[in-house]
Amino acid sequence: MFFLQADDYHQWRDHARRLLSAEVPPAEIHWNSDSSQQVLFADPRPLPECSASRKVNVPKAFLEWAEIVACYCSDRRWQLLYRTLWRLTHGERNLLEIVTDDDVHQLGQMKKMVTRDVHKMKAFVRFRKVEAAAPAQEAYVAWHRPDHRIVRLAAPFFSRRFKEMHWTILTPLESVTWNQKELVYGPGVPASEAPQDDALEDLWKTYYASIFNPARIKVSMMKREMPVRHWPTMPETELIPDLLREASQRVDRMVDSTEGFAKTAAHYLPDQKDLASLRSAAQSCRACDLCQHATQAVFGEGRRQASLVLIGEQPGDQEDLEGRPFVGPAGQLLDSALATAGINRDDVYVTNVVKHFKFTEQPLNRGKRRLHKKPNSREIYACRPWLEAELDLIRPQAIVCLGATPAQAIFGRDFRVSHSRGQLLRTDWCNHTIATWHPAALLRMPNAERRAEMLDALIADLASAAAVT
């Protein structure tokens, strides 16, 4: 029997790598994660050395799951992760797709709980101003009590959102400080050390006002989304509508993460994340059924250095045949709108939320006509890793979402282009994200006057996005 201890994902992974390379079956390992807990059994065997000759090939999706599940507070996780790893590498390579499997189900539950906890932390952490060492410098502290060890999962979000502030988030098990350059992790602290004073209300108001988009307020969600024990650190009630809007976006992502049982394009991402590798890997994507009927995947097009990214819904008939985005009728209208807005299409990266053409067939004379069909949320979710990889690589100054599909993929399902068109909003992707009409919506608009108005709006929105790049 091996008696092993792991405090975090990296320790577990190192152990697991060695054990697996020595073919140690799960039943021969006892895992625990508390260093103060004495192992009662004598003579634990030393860990085997990693055999360099045996390379273990583990599905990437598992590593992604493992990093999240490792934050789940229970010793069960290490055993479960190792058993799953063992099975994946011993003849059950597609195990993660079998949602009815007990281990996969348990892993999925843990992943969901951790993701949910991260969502709560993002929505409810509230900073307070404290005295800083240097007089000209302001520092902010927040106290939060997560259920799981999620500080490392959530901290990058705060470093992006509060890039210009010097802040610390304290939790009972871990803490993290952003010094405007890097995240520094430290031990946890008791609640009594968290600052009590009420200085940051205005900052929160501005912060929330700037990142939220108008969306319906669901009061019932408030009860669901605010566990009582978060209340002592919550902002006052006037901010609650804003928080609810945040919650609505986060709930979408939570729902998405439970859909994580399903297959996504993440399985097909190449190791090398440059545009050429991504584009060619997308051709082999089988994460949803759309690939079965389309001619080819239509990947985004443009330079990696582009400061403006345009996102459409999915390729149309002509795009599907040519393999390039926005080359059909909607593309021609887009080109002319870009030109009027003074934007050179060669300077822009143009892509779609979904990379394969979805259509229904209609008899036409002797042949058939392929009619565009809207992608469903399952397909959008499956395809999302491609879009995320594109945005991660390009890191544009501005993003334009053309129509409801990209807008909802980016802002959440409550987003309405008709309400929030033209507003420059902050998102996880970049500080200036704007939603506007899809050129195809103009082509379908029967009323000429209305169509002209929509075209003006499209041009103006493209121009205002270009102006912030």
Residues that bind ligand SF4 (CB under 6 A): 265, 282, 285-288, 290-291, 297, 354-356, 379, 382-383, 386
For ligand SF4, the closer CB: 183 or 291: 291
DSSP state of 183: E
Among 286, 245, 243, 306, smallest CA distance to 386 is for 286
Exposure string for 325-339, b = 16+ CB within 10 A, e = fewer: bbbbebbebbeebbe
The option from ligand SF4, ligand URA, none interacting with 260 (CB < 5 to 8 A, set by class) reads none
Alpha-carbon distance of 309 to 456, in angstroms, equals 20
For ligand URA, the closer CB: 162 or 359: 359
301 binds ligand URA (CB under 6 A): no
The option from ligand URA, ligand SF4, none interacting with 355 (CB < 5 to 8 A, set by class) reads ligand SF4
Q: Which of 174, 252, 313, 390 binds ligand URA (CB under 6 A)?
A: 313
For ligand SF4, the closer CB: 225 or 390: 390
CB of 397 to ligand SF4, least distance (A): 26
Taking residue 346's Cβ as centre, other Cβ atoms within 10 Å add up to: 9
Taking residue 273's Cβ as centre, other Cβ atoms within 10 Å add up to: 13
Instruction: With beta carbons less than 8 A apart as the criterion, state whether 312 and 441 touch.
Output: no
Instruction: With beta carbons less than 8 A apart as the criterion, state whether 383 and 354 touch.
Output: yes
Residues ≥6 apart with Cβ < 8 Å to 223: none
CB of 355 to ligand SF4, least distance (A): 4
CB of 462 to ligand URA, least distance (A): 15
385 binds ligand URA (CB under 6 A): no
**Is beta strand 139-143 parallel, antiparallel or unpaired with respect to 128-130?**
antiparallel
The option from ligand URA, ligand SF4, none interacting with 382 (CB < 5 to 8 A, set by class) reads ligand SF4
218 three-state secondary structure:
coil
139 binds ligand URA (CB under 6 A): no
325 binds ligand URA (CB under 6 A): yes
CB of 330 to ligand URA, least distance (A): 4
Instruction: With beta carbons less than 8 A apart as the criterion, state whether 250 and 218 touch.
Output: no
Q: Shortest Cβ contact with ligand URA: which residue?
A: 312
For ligand SF4, the closer CB: 379 or 461: 379
For ligand URA, the closer CB: 146 or 315: 315
The option from ligand URA, ligand SF4, none interacting with 354 (CB < 5 to 8 A, set by class) reads ligand SF4
CB of 297 to ligand SF4, least distance (A): 5
The option from ligand URA, ligand SF4, none interacting with 313 (CB < 5 to 8 A, set by class) reads ligand URA
CB of 206 to ligand URA, least distance (A): 34
For ligand SF4, the closer CB: 245 or 279: 279
For ligand URA, the closer CB: 302 or 328: 328
Stretch that binds ligand URA, among 106-114, 211-219, 302-310, 328-336 (CB under 6 A): 328-336
Q: Residue 212 to residues 16, 125, 209, 254, 256: CA-CA distances in angstroms?
A: 42, 16, 6, 18, 20
Taking residue 245's Cβ as centre, other Cβ atoms within 10 Å add up to: 21
Alpha-carbon distance of 418 to 300, in angstroms, equals 26
CA triplet 463, 421, 124: central angle to 5 degrees? 115
DSSP state of 50: P
Exposure string for 138-147, b = 16+ CB within 10 A, e = fewer: bbbbbbbbbb
440 binds ligand URA (CB under 6 A): yes
For ligand URA, the closer CB: 21 or 318: 318
Stretch that binds ligand URA, among 37-45, 89-97, 266-274, 308-316 (CB under 6 A): 308-316
**Is beta strand 308-312 parallel, antiparallel or unpaired with respect to 348-352?**
parallel
CA 459 to chain centre: 29
The option from ligand SF4, ligand URA, none interacting with 256 (CB < 5 to 8 A, set by class) reads none
Q: Which of 59, 195, 302, 312 binds ligand URA (CB under 6 A)?
A: 312
Alpha-carbon distance of 224 to 319, in angstroms, equals 43
For ligand SF4, the closer CB: 16 or 383: 383
